[in-house]
């Protein structure tokens, strides 16, 4: 998550006497938001009694009992998950609580996304509950999320290394957060470097495919072939390699059409890459013109058809593609 979208409860003030709605399909962000609210509850009252439950099978009377106070604590925090499964009686009790919140209760409601329960969500919003949306991050925000995760753990990494990790691990935020945690523990001086990411995640197919494409498009034939042979030996699916190459060629074609227009952020958004990637692409583009790019498109399309069954030897088809594309770049 880019730091500009990092969720905080700082502006919530005291969580007591409020109903907090956490809504959206991004589970990691939802869970963190709930924990932030509970942390604020404990900071204000270390003796707070915390109760967690699911809306599934929970009735309105059950909620009333949970929010009626405790004999053992002056204040309570109640978390109700799976709000999409709320019954009619529970929905009515929640709306009543939103209309007349108890000053000693922090009520946190979690809706994991989707249209189910939308009517209740709309009514809660009209009641002006504190609303924290947790929507999936856009691809261009993932590098910022990785950088933020590193800072949370007292580590740091450069944007290209963050992108390398995203390429290796994928877009699942829990997986990315876990990967950063692992790397931060092994970064001797707190700096997560490219070689450390490679050591931990070099078996990931996405990294291999894009490494091959970057080397070939830069005219580094020997490196591209070495990466290709290593990828095939470790079981990378051929279609992932042609897909990465197609993405690289398509990106150069788009970049060639926007040269001199807009700032880097706008250009990167149009092409669908992070801004830091433009430097590498511009260096590659110095070797390419429209004629060569058109030729590369045909070479990649032929190889893609071959690895999907048009040819008997996928490895040979890939090697031919890499050689010919790299030679085009090297001229």
**Predicted local distance difference test score (pLDDT) of residue 73:** 61
**Predicted local distance difference test score (pLDDT) of residue 319:** 95
**Predicted local distance difference test score (pLDDT) of residue 200:** 78
**Structural contact between residues 164 and 197, judged by C-beta atoms closer than 8 angstroms:** yes
- In 102-164, at which residue ranges do the beta strands (DSSP E only) sit? 105-111, 130-133
Tell me how many helices (H) and strands (E) the chain has. Answer: 15, 5
**Predicted local distance difference test score (pLDDT) of residue 202:** 59
Beta bridge partners of 50: 77
Q: Mean of the pLDDT values across residues 54-61?
A: 92
pLDDT digits (tens, 9 = 90+) for 98-135: 999 999 999 999 999 889 999 999 999 999 999 999 98
CA dist., res. 261 & res. 7, Å (int)? 34
Q: Mean of the pLDDT values across residues 190-217?
A: 78
Whether 6 has a pLDDT exceeding 50, the answer reads no
CA 279 to chain centre: 23
Residue with the larger pLDDT of the pair 78 and 276: 78
pLDDT more than 70, % of the chain:
90
Whether 8 has a pLDDT exceeding 70, the answer reads no
Burial of 257 (0-12, 13-18, 19+ CB in 10 A): exposed
pLDDT digits (tens, 9 = 90+) for 133-189: 998 888 888 999 999 999 999 999 999 999 888 877 777 788 888 889 989 988 888
CA angle 299, 303, 308 (to 5 degrees): 150
CA dist., res. 57 & res. 291, Å (int)? 65
**Predicted local distance difference test score (pLDDT) of residue 50:** 92
Q: How confident is the model at residue 11 (pLDDT cuts 50, 70, 90)?
A: confident
Return the closest-CA partner of residue 205 out of 179, 231, 171: 231
Name the least confident of 68-82, 193-207, 288-302: 193-207
Whether 7 has a pLDDT exceeding 50, the answer reads no
Return the closest-CA partner of residue 25 out of 227, 245, 196, 173: 173
| Cα separation values, 119 from 57, 122, 135, 147, Å | 19, 5, 19, 37
Strand order in the sheet with 105-111: 49-54, 76-81, 105-111, 18-23, 130-133
CA dist., res. 130 & res. 110, Å (int)? 12
CA dist., res. 68 & res. 64, Å (int)? 6
DSSP 235: T
Record the pTM: 0.61
**Predicted local distance difference test score (pLDDT) of residue 317:** 93
CA dist., res. 119 & res. 134, Å (int)? 18
CA angle 133, 175, 202 (to 5 degrees): 145
Whether 239 has a pLDDT exceeding 70, the answer reads yes
Whether 244 has a pLDDT exceeding 90, the answer reads no
Three-state DSSP class for residue 300: helix
What structural domains and CATH numbers belong to the chain?
3-133 (3.40.50.300), 139-201 (1.10.8.60), 205-330 (1.20.272.10)
Whether 262 has a pLDDT exceeding 70, the answer reads no
pLDDT digits (tens, 9 = 90+) for 60-107: 999 988 887 655 568 999 999 999 999 999 999 999 999 999 999 999
């Amino acid at each position: 998550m880019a730091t500009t979208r990092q969720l905080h409860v700082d502006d919530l003030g005291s969580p007591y006497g409020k109903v907090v709605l956490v809504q959206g399909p991004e589970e990691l962000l939802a869970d963190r938001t709930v924990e932030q609210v509970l942390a604020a509850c404990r900071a204000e009252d270390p003796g707070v009694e915390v109760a967690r439950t699911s809306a599934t099978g929970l009735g309105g009377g059950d909620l009333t009992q949970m929010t009626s106070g405790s004999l053992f604590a002056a204040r309570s925090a109640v978390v109700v998950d799976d709000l999409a499964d709320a019954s009619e009686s529970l929905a009515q009790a929640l709306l009543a609580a939103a209309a007349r919140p108890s000053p000693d209760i922090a009520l946190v409601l979690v809706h994991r996304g989707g249209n189910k329960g939308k009517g209740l969500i709309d009514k809660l919003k009209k009641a002006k509950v504190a609303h924290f949306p947790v929507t999936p991050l856009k691809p261009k925000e993932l590098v910022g999320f990785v950088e933020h995760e590193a800072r949370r753990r007292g580590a740091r990494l450069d944007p290209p290394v963050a992108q390398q990790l995203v390429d290796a691990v994928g877009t699942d935020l829990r997986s990315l957060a876990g990967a950063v945690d692992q790397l931060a523990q092994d970064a001797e001086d707190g700096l997560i470097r490219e070689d450390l990411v490679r050591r931990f995640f070099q078996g990931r197919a996405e990294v291999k495919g894009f490494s091959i494409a970057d080397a070939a498009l830069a005219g580094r034939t020997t490196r591209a072939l070495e990466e290709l042979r290593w990828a095939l030996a470790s079981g990378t699916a051929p279609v992932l390699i042609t897909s990465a190459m197609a993405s690289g060629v398509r990106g150069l074609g788009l970049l060639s059409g926007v040269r001199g227009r807009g700032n880097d952020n706008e250009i990167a958004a149009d092409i669908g890459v992070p801004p830091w990637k433009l430097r590498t692409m511009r260096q590659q583009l110095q070797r390419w013109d429209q004629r060569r790019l058109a030729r590369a498109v045909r070479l990649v399309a032929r190889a893609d058809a071959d690895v999907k069954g048009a040819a008997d030897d996928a490895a040979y088809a890939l090697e031919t593609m890499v050689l010919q594309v790299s030679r085009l770049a090297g001229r």
